[in-house]
């Protein structure tokens, strides 16, 4: 209990960033799998290279589990040279459809928001 109290409350901006990350993570995972089969760590590497979406590596796996339950992903254990099997994931047909529609939504969403943010980022409009 004492430990809990000592922990500083998350800053509002941090909280917002965390929520944003979480919302985008699903799309990013699906996008990683667009043209290849990958296992968990490869997906994580893809995410690390292209974004700073993941905070705790282990939390990618619950999302993969849900995407599979939702029928967007399929998975299979494959014996590897590494000595232990790895669980590979790939997109199902409905997963492909879903990621396309998500990507389209993201595109128009981001474009609209960016145009809204332009004056803020340029520092114009106010002295």
Partner 1 sequence: MNPMTSNPMIESYFAALETQLGDLPRLKRDEVVRELRAHLFDRLEQITVPTDDDCRTVLKAMGTPQEIARQYRLELLLSRSAWKISPWSMLRTLFRWTLTGIQGYIVFVLALLGYTVGASFYITALLKPFFPHNVGVFVGDEGLNLARFPEPPPGTEILGSYYVPVAVFLGFLFTLVTTLAIRFVVRRFGRLKQKVGGMAATA
Stretch of 8-16, 53-61, 99-107, 112-120 lying at the interface with partner 1 (CB under 8 A): 53-61
Position among 10, 20, 65, 120 found at the interface with partner 1 (CB under 8 A): 65
Choose between 49 and 127: whose C-beta lies nearer to partner 1: 49
Can you tell me the distance from the alpha carbon of 45 to that of 117, in angstroms, rounded to the nearest whole number? Answer: 30
Alpha carbon 105 to its chain centroid, in Å, reads 15
Nearer to partner 1, 14 or 57 (CB): 57
Query: Would the CA dihedral through 64, 69, 74, 75 be positive or negative?
Result: positive
Is 76 a binding residue for partner 1 by CB under 8 A? The answer is no
Tokens of 98: 């879903």
Member of 6, 9, 84, 124 binding partner 1 (CB under 8 A): 84
> How far, in Å, CA of 116 to CA of 16, rounded?
18
Instruction: Give residues with Cβ within 8 angstroms of 29, minimum separation 6.
Output: 43, 47, 60, 63, 64, 67
CB of residue 122 to partner 1, shortest distance in Å: 38
Does residue 73 interact with partner 1 by CB under 8 A?
A: no
Closest CA to 60 of 84, 32, 85, 83: 32
Counting residues that bind partner 1 (by CB under 8 A) gives 24
Does 88 help bind partner 1 (rule: CB under 8 A)? Answer: no
Of residues 5-24, which lie at the interface with partner 1 (CB under 8 A)? none
Check residue 70 and report its DSSP letter. Answer: T
Task: Tell me: does residue 87 bind partner 1 (CB under 8 A).
Answer: yes
């Amino acid at each position: 209990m004492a430990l809990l109290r000592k922990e500083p409350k998350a800053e509002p901006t941090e909280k917002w960033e965390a929520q944003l990350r979480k919302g985008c993570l699903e799309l990013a995972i699906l996008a990683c799998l667009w043209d290849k089969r990958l296992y968990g760590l490869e997906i994580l590497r893809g995410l690390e290279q292209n974004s700073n979406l993941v905070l705790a590596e282990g939390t990618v796996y619950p999302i993969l589990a849900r995407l599979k339950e939702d029928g967007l992903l399929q998975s299979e254990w494959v014996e590897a040279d590494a000595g232990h099997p790895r669980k590979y994931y790939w997109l199902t047909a409905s997963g492909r459809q879903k990621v396309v529609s998500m990507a389209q939504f993201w595109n128009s969403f981001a474009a609209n928001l960016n145009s809204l943010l332009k004056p803020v980022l340029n520092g114009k409009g106010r002295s």
